[in-house]
Structure 1
């Protein structure tokens, strides 16, 4: 059950403690780091992994491209820069009244939720995370609050995330959906228009199923629906190929979602009244459910037009308007004049074959019984040094790795082990000067400590 304090109807009254003033923090200007830069300008008509949204009146699109935000007429054309520069901005969302944009930015030094007017003015952060990251922001139905997924920075919560509710005034927010009991993640929140339901993606398979590899055609993710009045949660859509990235239509009766079907990523339509689900478009790019994605979205965000019939979505480098009834697909062309300031990385020159190399560490020292000689390992070879001030020289000329020398009681012989990836291990015996070495034992495994 969700506590009463978490219910949507009470959000406006609850309020959230104000965050510490940003002005009090140490100044950080990502646009002026003091590092050398070069400027690059180019024009593109396609992009990669672009999140896109539609304004409530259906006339304007907002999308991200190469870390910048743009707006575009819904019919296509020349894109207008809204937020650019060295910071990374992504996942734009129009407010319910169409006047503001919600998005993720690292301008403050970490991934936080920001809001601005649609023209880019009055940009300011809503959250103030410095260690954890936020992703996948969405507006509440009346535009008075937002929700986002918070990912954790510690190793014990590597896969986990939770959904939090934030007032526009800022603050640390309130827990809306906790991390699942299996230690996995919840992402991609969407509110119903009346504020009663929250739809989101949950990883339902345990971490043991996805430590290295996820078979995306199995059941790994489900779209959940939480009733914010009663606090009950149900698995709304699940099955082979999973179900991710829900987008609720304005009419409140249809839900678009993403599913893997064998080698294809497919856009589906779900009827909330009948439970029917239909594949609509199988030309999407590969989703990212087969790996853990720090950005927290399993396919780029997309949006419905106000007619509750058409969806705009990114695929194959382009933006597409898809009829969710007839499955007709039409490209929305765009042209972006991109300008980027690229920070030059530091470069250091190294002599990879110096005539003299200073060894920083030696190990496995063996002293002769008379104390006049020491043999030791350095750089995978055995070296002999006369004490106190002799020059170290190789004990042998072998090309194999040599380890763990040991003197005989009379100091005339040295036992040691060799390793060769093709032959395996050898136990060897050599004279003090390294000559007349012979093999005492051989093994396909490792020999140690003679």
Structure 2
């Protein structure tokens, strides 16, 4: 995995940055990042276009230090100024490398697949301090998470890393004498590029006395304090602080006190602080690099860079897979689809592919006109979404896929955002969405438009609607204000009458389709499906039909035998009339449908469940005669194609697909199903004796202009944020001005990683949770360090590695091995583990494979074959171990009277575990410690609040024995909850609700206000970004919970030294508080 996680830590994001401004530009290069000043103050090193460059600190032409296709970032100088350590993702993840100041081939120093980032050289220059979430020490009591790295040191010439601290210490830098380390803490996983937030998760500066082991907090500003560096005499330090409103350079005594602001920059933040021995500072601001002599003013360093691109800016991409948005032409001869935001048309049977649009902006919402002569779609051009029509220019070319010329004209282009075009069946009018939440219909001849639906009926960004066959009605997904479940609505296409709620179920009803020529409607609902224990969890769905015609309903209800008799009679009548009826079916398909008369009375009595078993549904279609349902359903693994005879109820699998997702469409004659599943288009004859899946071959080309596409994506992100951000004030950010501020960097961005970081910096201005951007890709040769399920003795320095603990459930926790602490693993697959070698190097890409270990235990040597596990499985084992230790402590300290559960996320699985533990193992306990620390969110707050707030109102009993009570599905005894700075999203919602509802004491640290809904989207190049489109308010106060921090009733910090020694101070405080509660209450044992 090559992660570019702009929502992770500033250091952990460590993306390669680039600039494209030529050396002849009057302003020189821009978007230069991660500058570091040499100890003698003469030379700067920085990242540009994914490589490291050096330049005199007075300015001039930069010289490349590295030249590699990988991303080289975060350079740090050796104490003597002769070497530079940096992070590079040359093996799929960031490792620490070192290179001489004159360049040459770098030396790789670390080999673990966890991202490893250098912070500084040690005072003696012999080792390099770096951060990585490899594995906490066995004694550590902090939550095991990749969001909080440990601190390590590795020899500057290579060797086995050693753990310096098991607690987070980012940007750690030593004092000149090496006694002290100054660092910034890391308390959670909030977007590292977020600005202006004042909360408990913001970074603070600490100093570690390496002799005593004491950690001392030296900054207490509620916002960001980061990038600390000692002065030469060690009496003070410089750092970056947002105390002035944006990150600026500050100075403070190591003894604390008032800080002195040294720079007065406004707008974008100062980044990447470093210092020379003479006190000269270097940092980045506004894409440039600055230096500031001690007591002086900041000076911009004029830099020019001459660099070639590492890949073509103009590229040709083969379009053979990756299709999205399938539609089939009315004549069944063509299929249209999207690829990387452009429109393509292909022969329905494969063999010819025509690119219709060639824009850097994205197109979406494809549809053929009813006569098949035009394609309509929405495109985001010129700062707005507009609807366009493409037509074949030459009559001699009957299909799009063989057309040499296709002409495009705008259909609807104004100051609004117009999307989701859909032709009426006669092609005379077009329905579309305006500004996301308004459904309009326009007469294409008169250009007169009318509004059918507004935000009273539509909410969100994407809406499903479909014309009736006669063009008089539109069925749609109805969003009732204040009601979470969706319904199915009906509205007249002429704008008259009232909106009709067809389903009114309180369940989720969605995706209506007209069937039987408009006499009925099919839709999906979860009303009969199995559901998660958690109300917000996944549920199974069924396909249903609602009949608007009584005769059609009565015909549908006929038994198989009754229907056979009716069909026989109809066939005899048709035969008596002669053969004049032949061909009428196909002719009818090409003539306008007769106006429908919809009987909307007593619809509940004309409703039927079509599927025989509930499942996770992807899509569904009904045959023209209404006798067969074809649907994509997931019962076990992926989606498969199923059919149900709606008369006999016979159900069978048509094709096994095991697809992750898919949608279907009929051809004109409804003989073939066209399926888009996992980006592959297929044609299927579902009625064949042995149906098969014929893949529709694609053979197109996409000419990609990388820079133009990036500019379009930037505009899209800015515009969508403007239109969808949950509150109009943008948290005080001037969103219009910020577009220009960050858009000016675009010509200087040369990699996806740099662009991701640019988006994250822009979105970080909003000071909101659930925002940022991320980019990741993998290759088969990436390092992936497998785990043996062991803790290693960090103090051991001999050959091999010494076992400190065998993790329960791990690969070596076996009855036939009996590995004990103190045993030495001497070799892996016959390769000796030298004292200078990291075992991680020998375990890369070994997960699930047989590995031979040579083990020495008490003088005896043995060989063991084991299958190491992937890093994710090790994480699961470490989490289980952490929970087990906490539960054992609560049990021990309470004498078996209290129980303990941890809730890692707000989902059905976590709720099931919580319910099982509390109502099973701990059913007779007097109280429960509900630990939510590091809860990453989801949607479970209502379930938990209800579950933990039970009040007993019945006892089922005799005179001598209780048999139960009501409510027997809710906990009715005391609880104490624990939360910390790393609680996020619904993890914060729970902490807030727990305290607001007075369910019990809240223990731990303040929880930042992140109770907001996420809104993530993927861009054409794979970047994932988002901002919240929906906030959460306290129903009693009307106040948004975003940025509203929740303070605990009992504030307790887990101090670094105590946690590293195995002490959980927050858990101890929670047990004490719960003991007090239970002592005040007379327990009623059921």
Same structural fold, with TM-score higher than 0.5 when normalized by the shorter chain = yes
Structure 2: distance between partners of 1:251 and 1:109: 40
Distance in 1 (alpha carbons) for counterparts of 2:98 and 2:193:
36
Q: Mind listing any 5+ residue stretches in structure 2 that lack a counterpart? A: 1-19, 136-142, 336-347, 349-509, 526-542, 557-595, 611-1086
Show the counterpart of 1:348.
Answer: 319
The answer to which structure, 1 or 2, has the higher relative contact order (CA under 8 A, 6+ apart) is 1
Kindly indicate whether the alpha-carbon contact (under 8 Å) linking 1:429 and 1:437 is maintained by their aligned counterparts in 2.
no
The equivalent residue for 1:165 is 153
Match of 1:280 in 2: 262
Please name the residue that 1:200 is paired with: 183
CA drift at 1:382: 5.8
Q: Distance in 2 between matches of 1:212 and 1:329?
A: 23
1:103 to 73, 76, 86: 86
CA distance in 1, matches of 2:193, 2:258: 34
* Partner SS for 1:42: coil
Q: Find the structure with the greater CA-based Rg.
A: 2
Alignment-derived partner of residue 355 in structure 2: none
Q: Which of 232, 236, 255 lines up with 1:254 in the alignment?
A: 236
Counterpart position of 2:199: 218
**Matches of 1:193 and 1:42 in 2, distance apart?**
40
* Per-residue deviation, residues 125-178 of structure 1 (Å, max 9, x unmatched): 100122x1012431111111111111469x972522211121234345222222
Counterpart CA distance in 2 for 1:142 and 1:448 is 79
* Separation in 1, partners of 2:608, 2:301: 68
Please give the secondary structure, in 1, of the residue aligned with 2:125.
Answer: coil
- Structure 2 partner of 1:238: 220
User: Aligned in 2, Cα 1:353/1:282: closer, same or farther, shift over 3 Å?
Assistant: same
Q: Which residue in the other structure is 1:409 paired with?
A: none
Deviations 1:178-220 (A, max 9, x none): 24xxxxx54111111111111111134x56x889988623342
Instruction: Report how many residues are paired.
Output: 340
Contact conserved, 2:196 with 2:246, CA < 8 A, in 1?
no
Alignment of 1:5-24 (within 5 A): none
- The match for 2:518 among 379, 386, 397 is 397
| CA distance, structure 1, for counterparts of residue 89 and residue 30 of structure 2 | 21
Q: Please, what TM-score do these two structures have when normalized by structure 2?
A: 0.29
How far off is 1:242 after superposition? 3.1
- RMSD value, Cα: 3.9
Q: 1:303 corresponds to which residue?
A: 274
Could you tell me how far apart the structure 2 residues matched to 1:448 and 1:305 are? 77
Q: Are 1:335 and 2:304 an aligned pair?
A: yes
3-state SS of paired residue (1:431): helix
Does 2:64 correspond to 1:81?
yes
Residues 409-445 of structure 1 deviation map (CA, whole Å, 9 limit, x = unaligned) = xxxxxx9456xxxxxxx999671579865335689xx
Residues 166 and 279 from structure 1, CA distance in 2 versus in 1: closer, same or farther, beyond 3 angstroms? same
Q: Which of residues 154, 162, 179 in structure 2 aligns to 1:174? A: 162
Quick check: 1:301–1:313 contact (8 Å CA) kept in 2? yes
Contact 1:250 1:304 in 2 (8 A): no
1:134 — aligned with what? 116
Structure showing the higher helix proportion among its residues = 2
Deviations 1:341-391 (CA, angstroms, capped at 9, x unpaired): 126584426584333479xxxxxxxxxxxxxxxxxxxx95668xxxxxxxx
Instruction: Show the 5 A alignment for 1:51-130.
Output: 51-130=34-113
On the 8 A contact 1:217/1:240 being kept in 2, the answer is yes
Residues 268, 214 of structure 1: alpha-carbon distance in 2 compared, 3 angstrom cutoff: closer
8 Å CA contact retained: 1:200, 1:245? yes
Please name the residue that 1:24 is paired with.
Answer: none
> For 1:64, what is the secondary structure of its paired residue?
strand
Greater strand share, 1 or 2?
1
Task: Tell me the secondary structure at the aligned position of residue 120 of structure 1.
Answer: coil
Q: CA deviation at 1:253?
A: 2.4
Say whether 1:42 aligns with 2:22. Answer: yes
- Rounded to whole Å, the distance in 1 between the matches of 2:76 and 2:146 is 27
**2:218·2:255 contact (CA, 8 Å) conserved in 1?**
no
CA spacing shift, 1:252–1:187, aligned 2, 3 Å? same
Decide whether the 8 Å contact of 1:222 with 1:238 is kept in 2.
yes
- Call closer, same or farther: CA 1:441–1:119 in 2, change over 3 Å: farther
Q: Deviations over 1:78-130 (max 9, x none)?
A: 11111123110011111111111111111222100000111112411100122
Aligned to 1:143: 125
What's 2:600 paired with?
439
- 1:264 and 1:282 in contact (8 A); partners too: no
Task: Give the conservation status (yes or no) of the 8 Å contact 1:417–1:428.
Answer: no
Q: Is the 8 A contact 2:221 2:243 kept in 1?
A: no
- Rounded Cα–Cα distance in structure 1 between residues aligned with 2:86 and 2:95: 8
2:292 paired residue number: 322
Contact 2:21 2:30 in 1 (8 A): no
CA distance 1:218–1:381, shift in 2 (3 Å):
closer
Instruction: Report the secondary structure of 1:312's partner residue.
Output: strand
Residues 137 and 146 in structure 1, CA contact (< 8 A), matched pair in contact too: yes
Give the secondary-structure state (helix, strand or coil) at the position aligned to 1:51. strand
1:202/1:437 CA distance change after superposition, 3 Å? same
Instruction: Indicate conservation of the 8 Å contact 1:69/1:83, yes or no.
Output: yes
Selected match of 1:190 from 169, 173, 195: 173
1:384-411 residue CA offsets vs partner (Å, 9 max, x unmatched): xxxxxxxxxx42438976247xxxxxxx
Contact 2:239 2:251 in 1 (8 A): yes
| Distance in 2, Cα, partners of 1:273 & 1:156 | 32
